[in-house]
A and B are shown apart, each in its own frame.
With several copies, the nearest count.
Chain A
Amino acid sequence: MSEQGYFGEFGGSFIPEILVATFEELIAAYEEARADPAFWKTYVDLMGNYSCRPTPLTEAVNLTRHFGGARIFIKREDLNHTGAHKANNVMGQGLLIQRMGKKRVIAETGAGQHGVATATMAAKFGLECTIYMGEVDVARQRPNVFWMERMGATVVPVTEGSRTLKDAINEAFRDWVTRMDDTHYALGTACGPHPFPEMVSWFQSLIGEEARRQVLEQAGCLPSRVYACVGGGSNAMGIFGGFFEDDVELVGVEAGGAGLDSKAHASRLASSDATLGVAQGYKTYFLQNPDGQMNETHSVAAGLDYVGVSPILAHLSQTGRVRFEAATDEEVVDALSLTMQKEGLIPALESSHAFVQAFKEAPLMSPDEVIVINQSGRGDKDIFTIADAFGDPEWEAFIQKKAKEYDAR
């Protein structure tokens, strides 16, 4: 049996027979592209001309002063077109779609970030586009649905299961099974069957490549530690990718939700609640019950609220190359608030998880040391969630007034 797509005991490809040919085609296209330096150049150029890569590495002078420890640098994936690192993966897969000659793209989305990025890519590449999104997420992330629809995508609410991200993934697979000839499924994170974990990580590796170069240039040395939040794991794999060969500690931060002992979290690797399993086409740690049924998870950040985790990260956790921590919802809101006030940056709630852990450790480090935090996305897309997280009464009054205007129509 082929060991393709395994990272230690994690990964693999657990897919229905009907998708096997499609995956073979995808793997072939991916491997061809990966072996072709012109493809990478096209990709880098596209990201330079359409998004704003290289994204800056911003030195957080005020936060550094505030904590009085390590020098803090922030990698600014929030400045990507559509507002997050998700754009990297999606544009890369868009180029692969062109290579494969497909005409339609589908994707799952939780928070909506990956859906917006995919709809954007589809518009740019002239592809038909369907986005699967849990009904619960459609309801709470309407702004993103609005943009996807305006960009010409069809957004299909998924009404089964927990009606969130994992169900949207299932539904996307269901679509793919019926239309694999003309359709590519652009999975949004470094999860799923081979080649997705590896391929998505490859596209995201731009982040780490740039960050390594930039930190050497700006700080004159490698960082002691690099922090990234971990949902599926793509932004983390992206930035970590630049530092695997270096003596740099890599720290992944998962959603601690209401606390690791509350069960209301989404920590697969930082908690001991997850166990090895096989679902959604791959083997990794899942938050599941003893029967193997997936649990409901919780996080203030929709993008981290997922039962599984990249098999590559599961492996790196096992080997000890990446350390995993968790940040609670409350800590996240505090870190976000501090970052806004000190630096004028608005990290996404997802990204803020990485900030929490960095803020815990920076003060204990020496001023000679440097750390890098990956700001995977911008928070201003999530005003509904963030305003609720802050419990802003003026915001509530504004929405109530707006609703009355609509009622009066």
Chain B
Amino acid sequence: MLADYIRKRREDRDILLMTHIVAGYPSFDDSLRIVEQMVEGGVDLMELQVPFSEPIADGPVILHANQRSLEAGSTVDRCFEFAEAVSQRFDIPFVLMTYYNILFKFGVQEFADRMAAAGLRGAIVPDLPPEEAGDYLEAMGRNELDPIFIFSPNTTDTRMSLISSRAGGFVYCVARKGVTGAETSFSADFEAYLSRCSAATELPLALGFGVKDAADVDFLRGQVDIAVIGTETLRVVDERGVEAVRGFIEELR
């Protein structure tokens, strides 16, 4: 399972990098080249987002990418083909990220089966709280896929425990209130928050939302297992092109 991979990898590296792409944005060809650049740049694991028309928890940059991908004709099926291709070709774990309706319409069980078949290792479904996740957990469990859940600064300790008890792979900690990509300021409360997170779970911790340069990564070193770079790589692609991604990743550590 993912947690083992992460712990193992952390023996060599003081922090892991997880990046994010929206499948099919700007195109599936580009998506493939971006993954390639990222892997070459040395990322340790990756989120592949299956676009959804109503990505309620994503900020404007990722929202935009979702929309463009769908406009370009992206389908769930095509995303799975893509996922299968990259997980066969590249030697890092890929997890899927999408909204619950994509699973629900597909059939949660069938979706999990298909994820497993594509070689994916887990999933992040930000609009699926553990209370609503019965079918999902079962389907994920049956396929040995990690259900990755989220902590946020206003999640209570009790609730963290509850979430942790359902979660697998790692826990995705939201660094600050807000949607993906907003300016992060690591507040005074930040350390208290992280120690609450660590105390609540045995699982590795990923920290996301707003990480954008080597300084941010440096700051996280020693505090969490994984730094998540989401929006920022999309910005790099948009502003400097696909070929700039590798350099951007390399500079992060």
Contact = CB atoms under 8 A, between A and B. Distances in A.
B75 to A, nearest CB: 6
B132 interface: yes
Interface in B47-106: 52-60, 63-64, 67, 70, 75-77, 99-102, 104-106
Interface residues of B, number: 47
Contacts of B59: 174
Contact of A21 (B54, B77, B131, B156): B156
A278 interface: yes
Contacts of A290: 105
A104 B99 CA distance: 28
Given A14-B129, A16-B57, A161-B53, A292 B154 contact: no
Contacts of B55: 170
A18 interface: yes
Interface string A251-293: 0000000000000000000000001111111000010101111
A319 interface: no
B67 A160 contact: yes
A157 B150 CA distance: 30
B127 interface: yes
A178 B178 contact: yes
Contacts of B134: 1
A160 B56 CA distance: 12
A144 interface: no
A20 B58 CA distance: 16
Given A17-B174, A281-B56, A160 B63 contact: yes
B165 interface: no
Contacts of B153: 18
The secondary-structure label for the interface of chain A is mixed
Interface string B153-194: 111100100010000000000100111001000000000000
Given A278-B127, A291-B105, A174 B56 contact: yes
Most buried by A among B59, B133, B152: B152
B101 A18 contact: no
B248 interface: no
Given A12-B132, A278-B100, A292-B101, A18 B177 contact: yes
Contacts of A294: 53-54
Interface residues of A, number: 37
Contact of B60 (A2, A160, A292, A293): A160
Interface in B91-138: 99-102, 104-106, 126-134
Given A17-B152, A21-B155, A291 B131 contact: no
A1 B67 contact: no
A13 interface: yes
B52 A277 contact: no
Contacts of B64: 160
B132 A1 contact: yes
A78 to B, nearest CB: 32
A315 interface: no
Given A13-B129, A13-B132, A17-B149, A292 B56 contact: no
A180 interface: yes
B129 A15 contact: yes
Given A17-B129, A281-B127, 11 more contacts: A16-B56, A20-B152, A20-B159, A160-B67, A174-B56, A177-B57, A177-B177, A178-B182, A292-B105, A293-B53, A294-B53
Interface of A: 1-2, 12-18, 20-22, 160-161, 166, 170, 173-174, 177-181, 275-281, 286, 288, 290-294
Interface of B: 52-60, 63-64, 67, 70, 75-77, 99-102, 104-106, 126-134, 149-156, 159, 163, 174, 177-179, 182
* Top 3 closest pairs, chain A to chain B, by CB: A292-B105, A21-B154, A18-B152
19 contacts: A12-B132, A17-B152, A17-B155, A18-B154, A20-B152, A21-B155, A161-B53, A174-B58, A177-B179, A179-B177, A276-B104, A277-B101, A277-B104, A278-B99, A286-B101, A292-B76, A292-B104, A293-B70, A294-B54
